[in-house]
Amino acid sequence: MIKDLLIIGCGPAGLYAWKMAQNFNLTGDVVESKATYGGQVTNLYPSKEIFNLPAIKSITGKEAMDEMYNSLNHEYKAIECHFNTSVLDIKITFNKELENNTFEVLFSNNLKYVYKTILFTDGMGLLLPIKLIDKDFDNVLYKYTNNNIFKGKNVVIFGGGDSAIDCSNELAPISNSVKLVHRRDEFRGMKSGLSNAVKSNVDVMTPYVFDKIINEKNNKIEKIALKNVLDSSTINVDLDYAVVHYGFKNQNLNFKNLEVLKNDLGKMVVDNKMQTSIKGIFASGDCCDYEGKIKNLVSCVYESLVAIVNIDKIINNKNLLNKGW
């Protein structure tokens, strides 16, 4: 049996693609290498407030992913989801009867299936945090799921993007003190968020970088030195927790038999149908790129819609695109 579609990744792009594939009565599978859905949003920012979703004033990352998952038709069995499952290999064959490529996929559970199309929604792949220091300490965090650990604590946050600024605003009301450390006076994150942080008594320290550990005990850092990048002067800072938002290095899926065109950042290049350089393989969300791309939850949902309506056109040999209603 040849299935219609394989969706690789179950973050927001994958969840919406799954929903639309159900709406079009497609057959196939969704695979996710982790134990749950939501991708980066669930794993890295579950408590972060999201303000840019249409008709929703505010919602946390986890709540948004839960709503997307709960909106699926779980009685629809023609598409199944497999967590803790990854793709090991993809082999392309031209099917004369279908007059299109088909894809034999080997999974980590040693099962093989054949698909008419594949949609990559695997985001940034395997994310490895860019570390503050090589050694792992119990109180140096690159992600967290429970804000309560910061109540009454002295927290030092490293980074200059929206994640670091949002973290500062999130922790300022419950922590004893919050310091936001960035190597430049100019931040990449939203000015409004930085203004709110200053109003919330976040101590914005620029232009400073981490220099060295002054005191540590029981695998926890108690005091660090920060260095001014302009004059090399240093100051010592006591802390209970350090939260690092330097971003992540990604290890994207690579298959020896799959020569998909990628850009300099390793993103799959797609056309206006969200199709890659290989006919029948599509991509949406953070794993793909095209001219004018904007990265946020709304755009990744739109990209998945575009991909699925074009996949539906291929599967059902349609002359016109479905509108996705």
> Tell me, what's the pLDDT at 232?
96
Q: What is the mean pLDDT of residues 96-108?
A: 92
pLDDT per position as a tens digit, 281-318 = 999 999 999 999 998 899 999 999 999 999 999 999 87
> Tell me, what's the pLDDT at 250?
64
Copy the structure tokens of residue 103: 């894809």
3-class SS shares of the chain: helix, strand, coil, % to 5: 20, 35, 45
pTM higher than 0.75: no
> Could you give the CA distance from residue 121 to residue 142 in angstroms, rounded to a whole number?
23
CA distances from 260 to 58, 266, 275, 276, 302 (A): 38, 10, 10, 7, 22
> Tell me, what's the pLDDT at 256?
66
The neighbouring-strand residues paired with 237 are: 224
pLDDT per position as a tens digit, 143-159 = 887 899 999 999 999 99
**CB 271 within 8 Å of CB 256:** no
> Could you give the CA distance from residue 201 to residue 164 in angstroms, rounded to a whole number?
15
Asked whether the predicted pLDDT for residue 179 surpasses 80, the reply is: yes
**What 3-state DSSP class applies to 186?**
coil
The long-range contacts involving 127-131, CB below 8 angstroms and separated by at least 24 positions, are: 127/40, 127/43, 127/44, 127/248, 127/249, 127/250, 128/248, 128/249, 128/250, 128/251, 129/244, 129/246, 129/247, 129/248, 129/249, 130/244, 130/246, 130/247, 130/248, 130/249, 131/244, 131/246
Give me Rg for the CA atoms of the chain.
22
Task: Check the annotation: does 87 bind a ligand.
Answer: yes
> Tell me, what's the pLDDT at 24?
96
CA distances from 314 to 47, 94, 115, 250 (A): 39, 14, 12, 31
pLDDT per position as a tens digit, 157-172 = 999 999 999 999 999 9
CATH 3.50.50.60 fits 131-244, yes or no: yes
Alpha-helical segments (H) within 47-161: 61-70
Copy the structure tokens of residue 249: 């290095």
pLDDT per position as a tens digit, 54-79 = 999 999 999 999 999 999 999 999 99
Domains of the chain by residue range = 2-126+249-315, 131-244
Task: Check the annotation: does 166 bind a ligand.
Answer: no
Length of the chain in terms of residues written: 325
Copy the structure tokens of residue 1: 């049996």
Q: Do domains 2-126+249-315 and 131-244 have the same CATH topology?
A: yes
Task: Check the annotation: does 126 bind a ligand.
Answer: no
Pick from 252, 270, 253: nearest CA to 261: 270
* Superfamily grouping for domain 2-126+249-315: FAD/NAD(P)-binding domain (3.50.50.60)
pLDDT per position as a tens digit, 217-260 = 999 999 999 999 999 999 999 999 999 999 877 665 566 668 89
pLDDT over 90, % of the chain: 76
Task: Check the annotation: does 286 bind a ligand.
Answer: yes
> Tell me, what's the pLDDT at 85?
94
Asked whether the predicted pLDDT for residue 325 surpasses 60, the reply is: no
Q: Which helix (H) or strand (E) holds 153?
A: none
> Tell me, what's the pLDDT at 46?
86
Highest mean pLDDT among 3-17, 34-48, 183-197, 252-266: 3-17
CA atoms within 13 A on the CB side of 309: 14
